[in-house]
A and B are shown apart, each in its own frame.
Chain A
């Protein structure tokens, strides 16, 4: 499973959406369910799924799939 596939699985489960609703280019603006509360849940889910401890300052930056993928790659998660 690629990193994007994992992220898509986590995000679609957390936002109760079909996997197809999450694209490699999606941003918060594209997905109605990805509101500020959904965003916190996505952050919590990422932490748990990838065993991370994220800075609150990073939460706001990670507002798109590319931004999250970039962050996860920088953290060297698998």
Chain B
């Protein structure tokens, strides 16, 4: 939808970039080019944004995307410092000393056209025989992968690959869907092969599917034939907008504080109406209008859980009313087991969010709060500015899509731990109730820990967990001695490095397995000394003495390799006060420039009745 002058003046009043973004998304408004530039200048006049270095390599004109990229970045509180490779220079930019490499991009965007990558793709796809297609697809993917590996070796940061969709609709017209040599199916096959190869073989390189963006606006609204034939630039303003917003959203999800929790209101958010007043039969949730919209919104929320976000309830209701909907309503899709934590009471929502953050051991800046009420949204924005607030639109039909344009809900990788997260929080609830039982019986904390029958498995330099290990450095804020962030490729270099050891652990107990939750990186200096570059642990296993077990096993492993002293550092941040005494409490002595521990004087021995059995590293 176009933005009228009156609407535009109102948008300029939005108090923050987040609220402006929400207002645009709610009405599906797409600014014109001058409007986009004005909004960007307006936003950056208030807040320059977090600077991010963007490198663009292209086989068609890319510079015309610039004003849109700047606008989309400003909407997310970012500011791109962009380098465009010279026209026609693609392979050369993959060299280690290229201008692109010297720009040191945080994000590299590759705008590629298939026929520039494989000569066979210059002929009309309809003329390529079915028997040649698999071969061409394979050659195309292998060739592109080779190019991407060279880029991977020469630039850090994330690399986003895009393939320009065909300018024209399929050569066989409407019959394409039926044809044995369907272009559309072949194209999906090529993209699928590329995505599989990237996932398995290349870290930190992702495919941004322009077809998905084109589908949302339509080919004729996405591709501008005039600009394409006259300037080799394919996109209409709407297409430029869609591409730039997708790139900036992914940049935001990679470079802003990660969102981890979606905290949901209930009445007029998960269903229409108020359960305490309208009752089970009165709320809108089911196969008719407007209940269908709420059912779809719940489906969308379940899909977001599959992206790795955990769900929490934060609502003002009588707990029994809400419980009845979650258990008994025939069309309610979100059940108790989907929520990692809940606050259903009459306490102000900012207080409940703080309590949820404490229970889940997460910072408030990991929260996205979703509520329909002006009052609640304003209260949370005011009291907890670090929480991202998404107001559910007033019209039911707009609700199912209301989280689709939240940048921090985009992900660039999914790990097994992401998908198992809610189950892990449920296990944590069971542990808490066991702890209360042991305490009620007069037992100590160690009695409780022993009752869990914990086994820690320590691993060393294990590439199979690479995405998770990098993710831990990105996500862990509280139990983290140095808060150094590493990308997957940096982590890989550390794992492969002769002078570096990367340890990790997982912790299993009678309620389940934590997955990989702890990481330590040790640099071997000369023969007898080593330095603890990183030592961190997911908040999920805090309070179970796992950190002591992990550190001691690392010390033993280093000692076995002839290391006599381990130096370490505590770098304070706003969030890691939890570990300020960790080194002092664990056999390290303060030095002028950090901390030092001797590994051979017994300081790292474990008591016989230590409550964790440790295995590895193997």
Contact = CB atoms under 8 A, between A and B. Distances in A.
Whether A and B are associated in the same complex: the answer reads yes
Interface of A: 9-10, 13-14, 16, 37, 40-41, 44-45, 48-49, 55-56, 59
Interface of B: 32-34, 37-38, 41, 61, 63-64, 67, 226-227, 229-231, 233, 237
A10 B34 contact: yes
A48 B3 CA distance: 11
A44 B365 CA distance: 39
B37 A56 contact: no
A40 B32 contact: no
A27 B233 CA distance: 24
A10 B37 CA distance: 10
B556 to A, nearest CB: 61
A35 B95 CA distance: 30
B231 A40 contact: yes
Contact of A56 (B32, B34, B226): B226
A45 B32 contact: yes
A37 B240 CA distance: 14
Given A13-B34, A13-B38, A14-B33, 15 more contacts: A10-B34, A13-B37, A13-B41, A37-B63, A40-B64, A40-B227, A41-B33, A41-B64, A45-B33, A48-B32, A48-B34, A49-B34, A56-B229, A56-B230, A59-B230
Contacts of B33: 14, 41, 44-45, 48
Contacts of A45: 32-34
Contacts of B64: 37, 40-41, 44
A37 to B, nearest CB: 5
A22 to B, nearest CB: 13
Nearest to B61: A37
A16 B32 contact: no
8 contacts: A13-B34, A14-B33, A37-B63, A41-B33, A44-B227, A48-B32, A56-B226, A56-B230
Residue with the greatest number of chain A CB neighbours at <10 A, chosen from B37, B41, B229: B37
Contacts of A14: 33-34, 37, 67
A44 B41 CA distance: 19
A34 B237 CA distance: 19
Residue with the greatest number of chain A CB neighbours at <10 A, chosen from B33, B67, B229: B33
Given A40-B227, A40-B231, A44-B237, A49 B32 contact: yes
B231 to A, nearest CB: 6
Nearest to B38: A13
Nearest to A11: B34
Give chain B's interface secondary structure class.
Answer: helix
A56 B229 CA distance: 9
Contacts of B37: 13-14, 16
The 6 nearest A-B residue pairs measured at CB: A48-B32, A45-B33, A56-B230, A56-B226, A13-B34, A13-B37
Nearest to B227: A40
A40 B62 CA distance: 12
Contacts of B227: 40, 44
Nearest to B35: A48
A62 B95 CA distance: 41
A13 B8 CA distance: 15
A77 to B, nearest CB: 14
A48 B237 contact: yes
Contacts of A9: 34
A48 B236 CA distance: 11
A3 to B, nearest CB: 15
Nearest to B231: A40
Contacts of B41: 13, 16
A54 to B, nearest CB: 8
A59 B229 CA distance: 13
A9 B358 CA distance: 51
Contacts of A56: 226, 229-230
Contacts of A55: 226
A10 B64 CA distance: 16
B3 to A, nearest CB: 10
Contact of B233 (A16, A40, A59): A40
Residue with the greatest number of chain B CB neighbours at <10 A, chosen from A41, A44, A48: A44
A48 B33 CA distance: 7
A50 B250 CA distance: 33
Residue with the greatest number of chain A CB neighbours at <10 A, chosen from B34, B37, B229, B237: B34
A65 to B, nearest CB: 16
A12 to B, nearest CB: 10
A20 B67 CA distance: 21
B402 to A, nearest CB: 27
A57 B229 CA distance: 12
A45 B33 CA distance: 5
Contacts of B63: 37
Contacts of B32: 45, 48-49
A72 B233 CA distance: 24
Nearest to B229: A56
Contacts of B237: 44, 48
A41 B233 contact: no
B14 to A, nearest CB: 19
A72 to B, nearest CB: 15
Contacts of B67: 14, 41
A56 B237 CA distance: 16
A11 to B, nearest CB: 9
A45 B237 CA distance: 9
A16 B34 CA distance: 10
Contacts of A37: 61, 63-64
Nearest to A36: B231
A24 B231 CA distance: 27
B239 to A, nearest CB: 11
Contacts of B38: 13
A44 B229 CA distance: 15
A41 B38 CA distance: 14
A59 B227 CA distance: 10
Contacts of B230: 56, 59
B68 to A, nearest CB: 10
A20 B596 CA distance: 64
Contacts of B229: 56
A78 to B, nearest CB: 13
Nearest to A9: B34
